[in-house]
Amino acid sequence: MVTLRQMRYFEALASTRHFGRAAQQAHISQPALSAQIMDMEEHLGVKLVERNRNGVLLTKKGEDVLASVRVILGEVERLEQMARHDRGTLAGLIRIGIIPTVAPYLVPRLIPHLRKHYPAIEIELKEAVTDRMITELLDGRLDAVIAALPVEAENIETELLFTDRFYMAMARNDSEVLMSPLAEHQVDAERLLLLEEGHCLRDQALAVCGVAGKRSLVNFGATSMATLLQMVSHDMGMTLIPEIAIRTETARNNLNIVPFADPAPCRQIGLVWRKSSGRPGDMAALAEAIKACVPVQAD
């Protein structure tokens, strides 16, 4: 008999295409996960995965089984949500995805706040780029996503959480002097540092600074806001910084923050969830908790 546990392990393996990462996601050892997948294959009488040096490939039967497994797990999730609803608001497990340019500045405040006000809550957090998290949201692997709006997808609801203004960050000892407030056309494309492809803040920076398509951009994509601002603090260039990050990053980096002229560019950060999740009360409570925890520059 195939168990729900095996189905969850198989779904994790299909999502990560790697036994090690799937085992880590499922919080078990790699040999144990492999044994469970083999047992599942034996019970079904089909080969689900192909193992190779680069990871895992699903067989045609594996793809078919995966589609059915996700339907079953989705129904189980809805059943569990009904039970959670009976226990009260934000009781039980909630899986939240957060974009990397928000997570480091919001999470240290949000988690203690949720645990204080909703003691029955169980929280799982994932930090990733928006496209990946929306895919996981629609697949039922996340319950909510905190990301920059708008998010284009079917079967989703969104709520605006806060407006996050942009500033320009540069080293305090930078020889270049920028007029304050800064006009967007004043940004030197040759000194603009960006996050790597896939981060929404990269696209926002290109749009704000009007340099999309220019070949003179610095050919280096940082993987995190912290890395980017370390580079800036060592006078390697300048970058766009969201207001939510200013308090933390100016405390630990040698940064000069220059505001933009009005109307200042900004991004809208929102909460995204599935319409079909049946958890409007939980999402409303989560949105209010996030709004209460947003750090501001003048805080």
H-helix or E-strand containing 126?
A: strand 121-127
CA distances from 247 to 106, 227, 244, 273 (A): 12, 16, 7, 29
Say if residue 107 is exposed, middle or buried (CB neighbours under 10 Å; 0-12, 13-18, 19+).
middle
Full DSSP string of 178-228: --SSBPGGG--GGGB-EEPTT-HHHHHHHHHHT-TT-TTS-S-EESSHHHH
Calculate Rg over the CA atoms of the chain.
22
Place of tokens 């569990």: 80
4-80 folds as: Arc Repressor Mutant, subunit A (1.10.10)
Nearest Cα residue to 53 out of 19, 76, 16, 25: 19
Q: What is the pLDDT of residue 252?
A: 78
> Which of 85, 140, 137, 148 lies closest to 284 in space, CA to CA?
85
pLDDT at 177: 53
Q: Are 160 and 268 in contact (CB under 8 A)?
A: yes
SS3 276: helix
pTM of the complete model: 0.70
As assigned by CATH, the class of the 86-162+267-293 domain is alpha beta
From the candidate CATH numbers 1.20.810.10, 3.20.20.140, 3.40.190.10, 3.80.10.10, the one assigned to the domain spanning 163-266: 3.40.190.10
Residue 174: the pLDDT is 60
Cis bond before residue 295 (omega within 30° of 0): no
The tokens 């009260």 sit on which residue? 88
For strand 156-171 and strand 239-242, is the pairing parallel, antiparallel, or unpaired?
antiparallel
Helix (H) or strand (E) holding 246: helix 243-252
Q: What is the pLDDT of residue 221?
A: 59
Q: Which of 68, 24, 27, 30 is nearest to 46 (CA)?
A: 68
Q: Which pLDDT tens digits describe the chain residue by residue (299 residues)?
A: 899 999 999 999 998 888 988 888 888 899 999 999 999 999 999 999 998 877 789 999 999 999 999 889 888 877 776 665 555 688 888 999 999 889 999 999 999 999 999 998 999 999 998 999 999 998 888 999 999 999 989 889 999 999 999 888 888 766 555 656 666 556 666 777 877 655 677 777 767 666 544 444 454 556 678 888 888 888 888 888 899 999 888 887 788 888 888 888 889 999 999 988 878 889 999 999 999 999 765 43
Q: Same fold for the domain at 4-80 and the one at 163-266?
A: no
Where in the chain are the domains? 4-80, 86-162+267-293, 163-266
